[in-house]
Structure 1
């Protein structure tokens, strides 16, 4: 592991806006009250990487709380440091494996979920690791409020199609779908937030897929 990664791992452990592993379990059911000291809605970005979406959403919506979730501390470091440097108080990060999310959030604690450019896990043998596989969807359904929505942005056409298929199979409520976001009427200030990877995809003339759905 490079010196930069080691330094970031060490630094991120000292950040007040980052919770890691068992430490985050203590906040289950009380994220707004215990971490953010308010009663604002909680929104998650799963597989947040460097946290660009988390931080930019927090800038746009100071009346809501945003938590970026990822397992790679050296990536989380970037978003967490930006939030600290800019004194963005409605941002937190949680370093965990997403499959364990029920250990960290209670029933109906989350109002919205963003999944932005996750690993598409294209191999059939890794289908269960896709973040929109039914085993993950069941977890999201539990932690979301009744009217809560899930957003997926991805450059991967296969993951987009897989997710749309599962939405139909499970009888979920599809609110929006496009295979080319920036040529659609859906794009707005929120959907036009671009992550590091999205900028690379767009520079290569790659289409960006988007889905929005709910369980009710």
Structure 2
């Protein structure tokens, strides 16, 4: 997701240290201090403008959520949207999602969400895909025992690659959906911005839930 720089973005981020952290190494192993309650921690890698993570936090107050985004303007928009909700179980991390072990202690996270990640279709870019084995190793390290990864995409090629990658890593599949919006799983589904856009055009949405 690329958007034009917003001149107000840095000022908004700086004005809300209670809701957003830049980098965040100082909270490694103690993210619970950022929330009103100590609860299971769910993270979204590449949170975009925040539609998914905000609505998840609203729907599931019994969990704590962190939306991670590397683009300053994008995460500032997510922060702006979140300010309207005042959710005590939501935080944002302005950082590179490829460096999760710098920000989270081993077994600190209960679930990882990967939503509409960049497919990096060229073979030479395989290692950049968020379901590549090196990323799965990182998720396994920061997740609790039997921790869960949920992945959604509109890209069939990336989905097929991801199923193979998760399977080869030895993960256990809890569910695979080839047309999420026409399945029972959609009853509890929370959409992302991209998901709403693509599904409105009739594009099937793919989803997998798996655990280590």
TM (normalized to structure 1)? Answer: 0.92
Shift of 1:65: 0.6
How many correspondences in the alignment? 210
- Contiguous gaps of at least 5 residues in structure 1: none
Shift of 1:143: 0.5
Q: Structure 2 matches for 1:76-91, cutoff 5 A?
A: 76-91=75-90
Shift of 1:37: 4.2
CA distance in 2, matches of 1:106, 1:208: 32
Shift of 1:74: 1.1
CA distance in 1, matches of 2:11, 2:142: 31
| Equivalent of 2:198 in 194, 197, 201 | 201
Q: Contact (CA 8 Å) 1:12, 1:74: kept in 2 or not? A: no
Shift of 1:87: 1.3
Partner of 1:68, secondary structure, is strand
* 1:64 corresponding residue in structure 2: 63
Q: Contact (CA 8 Å) 1:178, 1:211: kept in 2 or not? A: yes
Partner of 2:185, secondary structure, is coil
TM (normalized to structure 2)? Answer: 0.94
**Would you identify which runs of 4 or more consecutive aligned residues in structure 1 move more than 6 Å?**
none
Q: Contact (CA 8 Å) 1:83, 1:89: kept in 2 or not? A: no
* 2:31 corresponding residue in structure 1: 31
Q: Contact (CA 8 Å) 2:47, 2:67: kept in 1 or not? A: yes
Partner of 2:138, secondary structure, is helix
The range that moved more, 73-82 or 44-53, is 73-82
The range that moved more, 178-187 or 121-130, is 178-187
CA distance in 2, matches of 1:188, 1:40: 24
* 2:13 corresponding residue in structure 1: 12
Shift of 1:18: 0.7
- Contiguous gaps of at least 5 residues in structure 2: none
Q: CA RMSD in A?
A: 1.7
* 1:181 corresponding residue in structure 2: 180
* 1:74 corresponding residue in structure 2: 73
